[in-house]
């Protein structure tokens, strides 16, 4: 948002709240799209057993086994609901933070 405002010589406070919310929602989507495979591996590691029940020796091992057993799709299972949730949550967060910053400054 700062780059857009600077390029067009717009003061930050003049950017409308719906536009801030849209930028926030898109940022949330971009975040999840870029980091989701790592989140899948993290979740697999967290739910992994201990001792004899442990399936993954390391994060690298988890990546390798997921790739071997499930292919590329294994890293993207569940992305749909995550993206559906990310847009409104990120949009709301950005809008509330921006409105709060405007009120206190």
**pLDDT tens profile 10-27:** 887 888 999 999 999 999
What is the predicted pLDDT for the residue at 7? 79
- For residue 60, the model assigns a pLDDT of 97
- What pLDDT, on the 0 to 100 scale, is given for residue 105? 86
Given a contact cutoff of 8 angstroms between Cβ atoms, the answer to whether 59 and 45 are in contact is yes
Indicate the pTM of the whole model: 0.80
Query: pLDDT below 50 — which residues of the chain?
Result: none
Q: Looking up tokens 């690298």, which residue turns up? A: 60
- Between CA 28 and CA 90 the distance in angstroms is 5
pLDDT of residue 4: 66
**79 with 4: CB under 8 angstroms?**
no
Per-residue model confidence (pLDDT) at position 46: 95
pLDDT at 9 (0 to 100): 79
């Amino acid at each position: 948002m700062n780059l857009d405002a600077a390029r067009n010589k717009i003061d930050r406070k003049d950017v409308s709240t719906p536009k801030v919310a849209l930028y926030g929602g898109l940022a949330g989507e971009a975040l999840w799209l870029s980091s989701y495979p790592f989140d899948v591996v993290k979740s697999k590691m967290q739910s992994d057993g201990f001792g004899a029940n442990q399936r993954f020796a390391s994060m690298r091992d988890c990546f390798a086994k997921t790739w071997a057993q499930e292919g590329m799709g294994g890293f993207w299972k569940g992305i749909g609901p995550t993206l559906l949730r990310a847009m409104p949550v990120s949009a709301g967060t950005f809008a509330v933070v921006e409105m709060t910053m405007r009120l206190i400054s």
